[in-house]
Amino acid sequence: MDRKFYKIEYNTVLSETTILDPRFKKLAFSDNRAVDEAKAAAALWELRLRVAEENLAQYRETCGKLARANDELANQLYQQEKDAIDITGHLKERDEAKEEKEARAREEQNKLVEDYTCQINALHELFRKKSSDFRTIQDGMKKIQEFQKTKAQMEQELSDKEHRENLNKMEYRFFTEKARLEREAEQQIALVVEKAHSEAIVQLDDASRSVFKENVRLNEALKYHMKETENLQKLTASLGKENASLALDKNMLELMVKESAVQIEAQKQKLSKLRAKVASLEQALKLKAGELEREKCKEEAAAVGIPASQVELESLQKALAMRDRELGHIRGLARTIVEQRTELEQFFHEALAQVKQEIAASRLRCTKEALQAYRWKLREATAGKIKFPPICTFHKSPHSTNSVHSHMAAAEKWTHQPGSKVEMSELTWEQKEHVLRLLFAKMNGQRKQNLIKTRVFLLSVTTGCFFCLFFLISYLFSVEVHVPSEGSSRSGEGEHGQWNRDRNIDTDLQKTIFPPFNFHKWHLWENNSPGP
């Protein structure tokens, strides 16, 4: 081979010089051809060598990339395993928190059941009371029927009393006329006696003096009989007034019979309404218990193998925290309303107590003043300065026609016309007490309606939170989680866009299920809410 190359080089040198010998022409041509082939082969091998080196470099680069990709995938796998462990631990904590919430929900359910049970017991107690009142009303109706049976006898007695009243009036006129004539005769007799006494007082002997004493005694007896006559006349007048009061009592009894019939009808309607309300409350309680059991079953079925991501769990926590803040705000509002209500009730009780004290003091003072005035008039009448006042009683008697207590009871009557403006200073203490009691009764009726509305609102908010939580969890666990694979380098942008779209859909769903809470509205409601 060395010899051949030597010959080629030698021939090449010879070819470059002037070849003089023709024997070497053929040899030189063949050598040139071999040289060209060798050059072509060398170039081919050089090209193959370069291609092989390039392939080797590419293989080395590819191996490095694959090693780096393998390391990245190993790191991603480790990170995913770590995230899975963290998510599993967080899910366990979340499950424990959910179990605690479920326990609290069960406690709240038990409390609601107890509250409804207490309400139902209260309604049963009210029903028993109303039944007892109804029985008493029936007894009253029986008494009224018995009274109607004796009504004819009473009317006959009243007609007899009217006849007697006419006779008494005629007797009263006769006695008054007789008393007038007797007073005139007494005045004339007194004048004659004074004249005779003045004329014959010196000329009297023992017999005349005895006659004079007898006349004095007869005059005193006459005065005594006149007093008895006046007392009888007063008794006749009192009997007439008593007859008038009996007629008024008769009219009052008839009115009471009509009012009791109306009250019986109203109480029957009220009893029917109460029974319907008790039935509706029992049905609502059964429906609420069934709904809570169904929600519990759905939550247990949804909690069986649910993988969820960190972002959705945090959004769920924020939404639940927002609902907890809303419920806390509502409880605070309810607490402040109850406190204000308690203060207002204390104020009303104190006002009523003060008014009662003023009424008792004023009545005692009026009674003392009336008694002193009556005694003064009696003393003055006894002394002969004025006429005797009408008989007045200072104790509660059903047959009294002129009692201080009846005048005091007249102060409770409302003398003002409906729709007229009245100042509080113009009212009596009894009328002020009546106004306060009416205000207190209206406030109590409004409070019951507000309490029922508040309980229904809190119950609807709690049920809505449970349903929203269930639907959000079911939606989150129905969304597919996109994990990048080895060949995701080319399509990574599209999958990232899809993941962003899924996340936007989750955010829109969260906004739809849990709308943002408007604290400004709550603040306005709190400031504008009417007091108790």
Give Cα 136 to chain centroid, integer Å: 33
Query: CA torsion angle for 240, 246, 247, 248 (degrees, to 10)?
Result: 110
**Residue 344 neighbours by CB under 8 Å, 6+ apart:** 443, 531, 532
Q: For residue 307, give the DSSP letter.
A: -
* Distance, CA of 513 to CA of 507 (rounded, Å): 10
pLDDT at position 513:
36
Tell me which residue of 241, 256, 230 sits closest to 399, measured CA to CA. 241
426: pLDDT strictly greater than 80: no
pLDDT at position 420:
65
User: Which residue's entry shows tokens 């092989």?
Assistant: 52
Predicted TM-score of the model (pTM) = 0.26
Q: When comparing pLDDT for 407 and 519, which is higher?
A: 407
pLDDT at position 459:
39
The predicted model gives 392-402 an average pLDDT of 69
CA quadruple 255, 257, 260, 266: dihedral positive or negative? negative
pLDDT bucket at 388, cuts 50 / 70 / 90: confident
**Residue 140 neighbours by CB under 8 Å, 6+ apart:** 260
Beta carbons of 436 and 351 less than 8 angstroms apart: yes
Q: Three-state SS string across 220-262, please?
A: HHHHHHHHHHHHHHHHHHHHHHHHHHHHHHHHHHHHHHHHHHH
7: pLDDT strictly greater than 50: no
DSSP letter string, 401-452: SSBHHHHHHGGGS--SPTT----GGGS-HHHHHHHHHHHHHHHHHHHHHHHH
Residue ranges of domains in the chain: 2-70, 120-304
* Average pLDDT, rounded, for the chain: 70
* Helix, strand, or coil (residue 64): helix
* Distance, CA of 345 to CA of 322 (rounded, Å): 34
pLDDT at position 27:
56
pLDDT bucket at 424, cuts 50 / 70 / 90: low
Tally the C-alpha atoms within 13 A of residue 320's C-alpha that lie toward its C-beta: 16
Tell me which residue of 401, 403, 334 sits closest to 370, measured CA to CA. 403
Lowest mean pLDDT among 211-215, 280-284, 325-329: 211-215
* Distance, CA of 74 to CA of 63 (rounded, Å): 16
- Percent of the chain residues topping a pLDDT of 70: 66
Query: CA torsion angle for 170, 171, 176, 180 (degrees, to 10)?
Result: 110
The predicted model gives 101-129 an average pLDDT of 83
For 28-54, what is each residue's pLDDT tens digit?
556 777 888 888 888 889 888 889 888
User: Which residue's entry shows tokens 């200072």?
Assistant: 394
How many CB atoms neighbour CB 431 within 10 A? 19
485: pLDDT strictly greater than 70: no
* Distance, CA of 314 to CA of 310 (rounded, Å): 6
What would the two tokens of residue 481 be? Answer: 């989680």
One-letter amino acid identity for 511?
K
